[in-house]
Copies of this chain bind each other. A is one copy, B any other.
Amino acid sequence: MSPVAVSFFGGSSGLWRVEAMNTIVGEALPQVARLDVREGSLSALEPAGCRFALRGSTGHLRYVLAHEKGGLAAVTPPLGRDTATCAALIPIRKSAAWWELAQDERRVILQERSKHISLGLGYLPAVARRLYHCRELGEPFDFVTWFEHAPEDSERFDELVYALRASEEWQYVEREVDIRLMR
């Protein structure tokens, strides 16, 4: 349960080959060929040829309620499954208006109206997911989400991402880049 720190380095080296980089909203990131993922430190040194670095840290659940927690945990797969050769790195930043909302107002938008938690649940265990927080690290994004799935689940993963982007919650997203990867 201790926070896990990670650094994502976009450049010319790393296990993951970049298949596509799409700027959904806001400023783009530099186009790169590979992604190097280094777990365990917020201060890992940038490798040669690095064109962007994103850092984050896992944390406790912010919106999941007690009655939802068990159901999620029961079907949540680990990262690193042999079959999960596709990944996505999706950094987002939300607006000041989002962060000024109270906890109950954010929960209502996120789950009661946008179904963020239950939407994701529908794609478990096919799509493994890990959320990294970075707003309080002084990073350019608030979150980086890392997804892993098998090639045959790529269309279903797209479906999930499109559903989230169509939600009320996403009206508060002011920067988003969608990076698809294969290893």
A residues lining the B interface (CB < 8 Å): 1-3, 5, 42, 57-66, 68-69, 96, 99-105, 107, 133, 135-138
Contacts and interface: CB of A to CB of B under 8 A. Distances in A.
B96 A1 contact: yes
Nearest to A56: B136
Contact of A102 (B1, B65, B135): B65
Contacts of A60: 99-100
A65 to B, nearest CB: 5
A62 B103 contact: yes
B69 A102 contact: yes
Copies in the complex: 2
Contacts of A68: 102
A103 to B, nearest CB: 6
Contacts of A62: 62, 103
A96 B59 CA distance: 11
A68 B135 CA distance: 24
A136 B104 contact: no
A3 B136 contact: yes
A98 to B, nearest CB: 8
List of 4 A-B pairs having minimum Cβ-Cβ separation, nearest first: A57-B136, A66-B102, A60-B99, A65-B104
Contacts of A100: 1, 60
A1 B96 CA distance: 7
A65 B59 CA distance: 21
A107 to B, nearest CB: 7
A110 to B, nearest CB: 11
